[in-house]
Structure 1
Amino acid sequence: MRIAHGRVTMMGSESVPVGIDPTKPSISRVYDALLGGKDFYDSDQRVVDHLIETMPQVDVLAKINRAILGRGVRYLAGEAGLKQYLDLGAGLPTMENTHQVAQSFHPDARVVYVDNDPIVLAHGRALLEQDKSTRVVTADLRQPDKVLGHPDVQKLIDFSEPVAVLLVGMLHHLHDDENPEAVVDGYLDAVPPGSHVFITHFLNEGPEAGPVEKSFLEFLGTGRFRTREEILRLFRGLELVEPGLVYLPEWRPDRIVRDKLTLAERLMVGGIARK
């Protein structure tokens, strides 16, 4: 896959695993395309092409979101000392995955990836077949009871010990009537004090967000941009760790952050909070 002249183009032949409809775009595959992956189909490419027409730097936005995943997990594993991770809406495996970062701090760290796209399971199993501390589960994060009750989750995660709940770039794909606040509560009610939640989300702040949100909703069917106040409600009852809810490049950066952020750098915010 390459990005050239503002277009994302799939290279090579397409193979379709059983249970996947390549005519319908997938959040995980669109994200994979934006990150420079290769596991996507024409329907996903069309979505990316439309997004790029609205915002040429949308692939940069995806990479910024991916970068904060690594920084966030380094905090959770290092400073917070967490050894259990529930990565919800994990997407396709790529560079610096959650289990790789967490296990670089704690070789015995346990990670369960959850996604509703069967292609994630197909690729994840192949990648992780030798890693007994990591599992990939096909489930819908909007159903916390089913996710938490899944045999692989029950086998790997000890809910008497702190858990990191990751919802990185996911809750904006839930519509208001799907009640993202209740989804977050469903997971946090199941984990003990000392657990953390890690959320990144599209931000509705300024006129530039409107056309991008419209493009996501029209061509992907999801992508709700919420206000800072709405996103803060997802953390209600929890203690936000420093620096709080901020633009993604400003969350514990590993490089100098420019005073004037680009549009791509201002379209998402993120934070980690402790129960």
Structure 2
Amino acid sequence: MGNHFERGGIGEGTRPLAEERPVVDLSVPSAARMYDWLLGGSSNFEVDQTACEMLLQVAPTSREIARNNRWFLQRVVRDIAQEHGIRQFIDFGSGLPTQRNVHQIAQEVDPEARVVYIDNDPVVLALGQSLLNENDKTAILPVDMTDTETIFAHTEVARLIDFTQPVAALFVSVLHCLPDSARPKQLVQRVVDKLAPGSCVVVCQLVSDDPQVRQDVTELMRVQTHGNWGRVREKKDVEDIFEDLITEDPGLVDVTDWRPDSELQQRQRSIEWTEYGGLGKVPPRD
């Protein structure tokens, strides 16, 4: 099962693991490749472009939501590295290789920053394997992001991540790809339970206040991706995930409004739906 609607992810300089890769079915649209097309990328195919055109009929500002989500990822990683001093990142559902990825931003702050990417989408793994260079402070694990037991026991996680120290766990634009049966809140909680106090948890996902938009987009993506999709949810679903975390300012917001680089910067907003979320910290243990 793939992990995204997804904001692209790993990029130049990351070391993929030499494990067997699933076969890529290019006859079925990939949510990761659709995201790439919305960002103006070239790692997509006609089937993805056709699905995106259908999506734009239902949600015309989908390009804006993709761009705003990508910029949020870059800002929040920089903030975690600079303001919180965290040097360890686990990115759940990393997406297609693109520019200004997690390890690139974190290692600009500190070249010793370490990043583990988690993604089992065959398109992401295939392109990642062919595009990425050696970087011994990064790794990509071909593991379903819900399989936390395998993730935490993995040798690459043991090599790169010290769970006695604060870690940043990123769930950026991925939880809407999980059906309710995968229990997204419980997934995040299993990760939080593993993290040291002071760790950061970033969560955002696609939401809409319009039930018709939620229904139409969910059904479109479910059909187009052959079931590799969850659903567009409501803000309350995201707020529920942050229940046991200390939410950092400015709270849970449209990610366009999460610590923008400049208040004067013109921001193109999505209308029908939005990426909603923020940054939480793991509180001290009792």
Whether 1:233 and 2:240 are equivalent positions in the alignment is yes
Task: Report what 1:197 is aligned to.
Answer: 201
Gaps of 5+ in 1: 1-16
Give the CA deviation at 1:45. Answer: 2.4
- What TM-score comes out, normalization by structure 1 length? 0.86
Q: Distance in 2 between matches of 1:105 and 1:185?
A: 28
Which letter does structure 2 place at the counterpart of 1:119?
A: V
Task: Report what 2:259 is aligned to.
Answer: 252
User: Out of 37, 59, 78, which is 1:74 matched to?
Assistant: 78
Asked whether the equivalents of residues 89 and 169 of structure 2 are also in contact (C-alpha less than 8 Å), the reply is yes
Task: Report what 2:149 is aligned to.
Answer: 145
Give the CA deviation at 1:179. Answer: 0.5
Moved over 6 A (4+): 257-261
User: Out of 35, 55, 60, which is 1:56 matched to?
Assistant: 60
Asked whether the equivalents of residues 103 and 114 of structure 2 are also in contact (C-alpha less than 8 Å), the reply is yes
Range with greater deviation from structure 2 (29-38 or 76-85) = 29-38
Cα deviations by residue, 1:21-52 (Å, 9 ceiling, x for unpaired): 11222222222222222222333223212101
Q: 1:212 to 1:142 in 2, by over 3 A?
A: same
Q: 1:38 to 1:200 in 2, by over 3 A?
A: same
Task: Report what 2:100 is aligned to.
Answer: 96
Cα deviations by residue, 1:23-82 (Å, 9 ceiling, x for unpaired): 222222222222222222333223212101212221221111111000110111110111
Cα deviations by residue, 1:191-246 (Å, 9 ceiling, x for unpaired): 11111110111113135633434433343342522222211111121100000100
Q: Distance in 2 between matches of 1:187 and 1:251?
A: 23
Give the CA deviation at 1:142. Answer: 1.4
Which letter does structure 2 place at the counterpart of 1:31?
A: Y
Q: Distance in 2 between matches of 1:230 and 1:255?
A: 29
Q: Distance in 2 between matches of 1:252 and 1:206?
A: 26
Task: Report what 2:276 is aligned to.
Answer: 269
Aligned CA RMSD, in angstroms, stands at 2.3
Q: Distance in 2 between matches of 1:135 and 1:260?
A: 33
Which letter does structure 1 place at the counterpart of 2:107?
A: Q
Range with greater deviation from structure 2 (156-165 or 96-105) = 156-165
Give the CA deviation at 1:140. Answer: 0.6
Asked whether the equivalents of residues 151 and 157 of structure 2 are also in contact (C-alpha less than 8 Å), the reply is yes
Asked whether the equivalents of residues 256 and 269 of structure 2 are also in contact (C-alpha less than 8 Å), the reply is no
Whether 1:171 and 2:180 are equivalent positions in the alignment is no
Q: Distance in 2 between matches of 1:134 and 1:127?
A: 14
- What TM-score comes out, normalization by structure 2 length? 0.83
SS in 1 for 2:90: strand
User: Out of 181, 184, 195, which is 2:188 matched to?
Assistant: 184
Give the CA deviation at 1:156. Answer: 1.3
Q: How many matched pairs? A: 259
Range with greater deviation from structure 2 (192-201 or 116-125) = 116-125
Which letter does structure 1 place at the counterpart of 2:168?
A: A
Gaps of 5+ in 2: 1-20
Q: Could you tell me the percent identity over the aligned residues?
A: 37
Q: 1:257 to 1:198 in 2, by over 3 A?
A: farther
Asked whether the equivalents of residues 167 and 199 of structure 2 are also in contact (C-alpha less than 8 Å), the reply is yes
Q: Distance in 2 between matches of 1:74 and 1:264?
A: 27
Give the CA deviation at 1:119. Answer: 3.0
Task: Report what 2:221 is aligned to.
Answer: 216
Q: Distance in 1 between matches of 2:129 and 2:155?
A: 16
Asked whether the equivalents of residues 86 and 165 of structure 1 are also in contact (C-alpha less than 8 Å), the reply is yes
Asked whether the equivalents of residues 28 and 224 of structure 2 are also in contact (C-alpha less than 8 Å), the reply is no
User: Out of 11, 36, 42, which is 1:38 matched to?
Assistant: 42
Asked whether the equivalents of residues 249 and 257 of structure 1 are also in contact (C-alpha less than 8 Å), the reply is no
Give the CA deviation at 1:127. Answer: 4.4
Q: 1:262 to 1:97 in 2, by over 3 A?
A: closer
Give the CA deviation at 1:122. Answer: 3.3
Which letter does structure 2 place at the counterpart of 1:177?
A: S
SS in 2 for 1:78: helix
